[in-house]
Structure 1
Amino acid sequence: MSAGFKGFKEFLFSKQSLRYVCSTHFWGPVSNFGIPVAAVLDLNKDADLISGPMTGSLILYSLVFMRYSLAVTPKNYLLFGCHFVNELAQLGQGARWVNHHYVTGKTEEKATN
């Protein structure tokens, strides 16, 4: 076994690492990653399916929790990363929603046909 692998193994199975993996500072953000994963997968779906108010709410939600993740002690960078990814995905969805409803006018075309 190489020294680097042995050191990593000792770190991975140390009391501090195991305590972190068994805490809500780890499992909360891990379970919360379903939101940004779903948002990223939804970027390929039809823009008619996007809810503007919900997307706006999720943009604000992620901004608040990005700030919260850095305000708690100890700082929760995993939670920050989760909400950072969600923020980017929701901003993409919001841009698609604005483009679909206000820029291209596809909603008006469907109503007249």
Structure 2
Amino acid sequence: MAGFLTSATGPMTTHFWGPIANWGLAGSGMYDAATRGPEIINERMSATQVVYSALFVRFAWAVQPRNYILASCHTANVLAQSNQLRRWAVHKIESEPDTAPAQIRNISMLAGAAGVGIAGSVLASTPLQNSLKGGSGFIARMAAHPAGPFYIHFWAPNFKWALSVNNLLDINRPTEKISLSMTSAMTLTGVIFMRWSFVITPVNYSLFFVNLALSTSSGYHMARKVKADYFDKQ
């Protein structure tokens, strides 16, 4: 026990509390599935989280120190958000049989396009990186940098921008369709991961800025939800 408490990823470090905060994402998906109806599900955000968490499973394995808590929470989130997408699809088919197939097809195409894009990037990355590293100047340095575009340290944090983009697209989303548990979890993980981005190897500035955007945009929706549910109804 003493060894765990003082380890590089133990509870005395951000390497522990950052991933623990990320369990809130999976937890919110499980909580909403157990207690809330499917009409509250934000299908675009859930689909984005499936891809985002899949990338972060790999990121957690590659980062130093290797973080098994982070890998496990994102694995759980892939499952939780996939279940939310299933619930959303069933609800749409039952409540909107005429338009549901097109909506489900659109979400599937978006997720499929993201998957194909990621797979294509992985397959092409090694030969392209080798050709660029052979040169000189900024492009060669970027190609060789451990947080550059040929490594998961670049793609996982930058895909997280998609979560903030979703928040911006939902800027006027009705508050009754906002999940307080999800927006709270995303706000918290954004705040903690701003700190975490400076204590991992390599230091990841893009991870800092993406989490700044996430905590701000999610915090906005969380505040809207709290105001509507706890203040406006008084």
Paired with 2:5 and 2:27, the residues of 1 have a C-alpha distance of 26
Paired with 1:76 and 1:108, the residues of 2 have a C-alpha distance of 44
The correspondence for 2:96, drawn from 69, 87, 107, is 107
Paired with 2:13 and 2:61, the residues of 1 have a C-alpha distance of 17
SS in 1 for 2:58: helix
Q: Which residue pairs with 2:45 in the alignment?
A: 54
Q: Which residue pairs with 2:2 in the alignment?
A: 13
Give yes or no for the alignment of 1:33 onto 2:23.
yes
TM-score, length basis structure 1: 0.74
Identity %: 33
Deviation at 1:108, TM superposition (A): 5.1
Deviation at 1:59, TM superposition (A): 0.8
Deviation at 1:74, TM superposition (A): 2.7
Q: Which runs of 5 or more residues in structure 1 are unaligned?
A: 1-11
Give yes or no for the alignment of 1:42 onto 2:38.
no
Q: Which residue pairs with 1:63 in the alignment?
A: 54
User: For residues 4-28 of structure 1, what are the alpha-carbon distances to aligned partners after superposition, in whole Å with 9 as ceiling and x for unaligned?
Assistant: xxxxxxxx224x6324321221111
Paired with 1:23 and 1:67, the residues of 2 have a C-alpha distance of 21
TM-score, length basis structure 2: 0.38
Q: Which residue pairs with 2:116 in the alignment?
A: none
Paired with 1:32 and 1:87, the residues of 2 have a C-alpha distance of 12
Structure exhibiting the larger radius of gyration computed from Cα positions: 1
User: For residues 71-107 of structure 1, what are the alpha-carbon distances to aligned partners after superposition, in whole Å with 9 as ceiling and x for unaligned?
Assistant: 1123210001111111110000011111222x33x13
SS in 1 for 2:65: coil
Q: Which residue pairs with 1:4 in the alignment?
A: none
Letter in 2 for 1:87: V
Cα root mean square deviation, aligned: 1.8
Q: Which runs of 5 or more residues in structure 2 are unaligned?
A: 99-234
Q: 5 Å matches for 1:87-106?
A: 87-101=78-92, 103-104=93-94, 106=95
